[in-house]
Amino acid sequence: MSILIRDVLLKDKTTNIYIEDNMISEIGGPKVEAEHVLDGKGKAAIPGLINTHTHAAMTLLRSYADDYTLQEWLTNNIWPIEAKLTKDDIYWGTTLACLEMIKTGTTCFNDMYFHGEVAAKAVDEMGIRGVLSEVFFDLFDETKGEKGRKKVESGVAALREYKNGRIIPALGPHALYTVSGEGLSWVAEFAEKNDLIIHFHLAETEKENEDFLEQHKKRPAAYLDELGFLGANLVVAHCVWLNKIDIATLASKDVKISHNPQSNMKLAVGNMLHYSDLKEAGCTMSLGTDGCASNNNLDMFETMKFAALGQKLFSDDPTVMPAHETFGMATVGGARALGINAGDIKEGLLADILLLDLKKPCFTPNHNLTANIVYSANGSCVDTTICDGQILMEGGVMEGEEAIMEKAGSVAGDLVYRGQ
């Protein structure tokens, strides 16, 4: 399929964007015809946003348990209901997540959850791009580890069956407090052999760091480095409790950081990403929403604003994390983290593009588009979402969205009922 986006605002200039198959093939060129022509007048084209930390099917637990301490939230509210999740729940939860992402301008996400093969089916049908990992934990038990490894191996094989380039298998070891050193070494080797990204939680809370230090007499980053777990294929979520030595260690191995400001604030993890230190060390940073039980939405526009404002407050310096850097984290930073050929609108890149409706109060006046995107807009400003050269949403509406919300809502109701 070919798409021509005519007379659209792209980086301060009005131009045409021509898409052939799944790639951006020409910008501003002489092409005047295509199978599908989109009128770009009154719209701005920006790259599709990239969410580098999700647990997509947790949309079913949106606003199910709020305002608890992290431990109480996890132990007494989230884990008991997650134990009741069925494959059907994962399918509908992920479908709902994809719908929300498409509607709010996310074209690629990095997911860690249960039943990756079911999530893949939802992602495939919805047309979005997903880096999908089966969550892996052994709880320091060899039998559980063996079972987990088998599930991971079969999950990766199942995802490899999709040949469309949108379903990207990855590995999702949960965290240091749920996976043994042997488990993590196995993950690192398996990733190396199979050329896979690893998605991991690190340094989310002070307690997790302190418990680890007491038990192992070394800091988590040093331990992971000795294990051979750190590398350019590793995407670590949270990372709010890092010191300068940890940061230097992660930077030296080109580990990718996923910052999740809303989840960190909502669960009051007691610290904020050390953005300036990570930037100085040369780390690639990106943004994530985390799951919908701790956010409670997947709107990356909101996440950009929280990230930037949080940094300004944390560092007592309003010049820290300016709008263009924040926007870069949600686009090029995410693409670098996940190793995809996207994150910008240029010839030869994947056609993952959004058209923003500039005829909205929050874009009026439009003195600075990037600042408006980060500080003023929200996901409802997205008019058109294109992923992999396919138009997934046009005019703010996605086909079949009402039926998806109805079904996902009833599945979520049944889940909560079973959980009682």
- Binding residues for Zn ion, rule: CB under 5 A, are 290
The least CB distance from residue 321 to Zn ion, in Å, is: 22
The least CB distance from residue 157 to Zn ion, in Å, is: 25
Residue with smaller CB distance to Zn ion, 237 or 404: 237
The 3-state secondary structure of the chain, one letter per residue: CEEEEEEEEECCEEEEEEEECCEEEEECCCCCCCCEEEECCCEEEEECEEEEEECHHHHHHCCCCCCCCHHHHHHHHHHHHHCCCCHHHHHHHHHHHHHHHHHCCEEEEEEEECCHHHHHHHHHHHCCEEEEEEEECCCCCHHHHHHHHHHHHHHHHHHHCCCCCCEEEEEEECCCCCCCHHHHHHHHHHHHHHCCEEEEEECCCHHHHHHHHHHHCCCHHHHHHHHCCCCCCEEEEECCCCCHHHHHHHHHCCCEEEECHHHHHHCCCCCCCCHHHHHHCCCCEEECCCCHHHCCCCCHHHHHHHHHHHHHHHHCCCCCCCHHHHHHHHHHHHHHHHCCCCCCCCCCCECCEEEEECCCHHHCCCCCHHHHHHHHCCHHHEEEEEECCEEEEECCECCCHHHHHHHHHHHHHHHHHHHC
Residue with smaller CB distance to Zn ion, 290 or 325: 290
The least CB distance from residue 208 to Zn ion, in Å, is: 13
Residue with smaller CB distance to Zn ion, 47 or 291: 291
Residue with smaller CB distance to Zn ion, 44 or 61: 61
Q: Which residue of the chain is nearest Zn ion when measured via CB?
A: 290
Residue with smaller CB distance to Zn ion, 233 or 295: 295
The least CB distance from residue 218 to Zn ion, in Å, is: 24
Residue with smaller CB distance to Zn ion, 78 or 224: 78
The least CB distance from residue 177 to Zn ion, in Å, is: 13
Q: Which two tokens stand for residue 224?
A: 């992971």
Which residue carries 């965290």 as its tokens?
175
Residue with smaller CB distance to Zn ion, 52 or 284: 52
The least CB distance from residue 201 to Zn ion, in Å, is: 5
**Cα–Cα–Cα angle for 346, 350, 355, nearest 5°?**
70
Between CA 384 and CA 354 the distance in angstroms is 6
Residue with smaller CB distance to Zn ion, 267 or 408: 267
Residue with smaller CB distance to Zn ion, 117 or 290: 290
Residue with smaller CB distance to Zn ion, 56 or 321: 56
CB-count exposure of residue 77 (10 Å: 0-12, 13-18, 19+) = middle
Between CA 388 and CA 407 the distance in angstroms is 27
The least CB distance from residue 98 to Zn ion, in Å, is: 18
The least CB distance from residue 342 to Zn ion, in Å, is: 23
The least CB distance from residue 263 to Zn ion, in Å, is: 7
Residues sharing a CB contact under 8 Å with residue 140, sequence separation 6 or more, in sequence order:
180
Q: How far is CA 394 from CA 16, 99, 330, 380, in A?
A: 17, 13, 22, 12
Residue with smaller CB distance to Zn ion, 225 or 290: 290
The least CB distance from residue 55 to Zn ion, in Å, is: 6
The least CB distance from residue 61 to Zn ion, in Å, is: 13
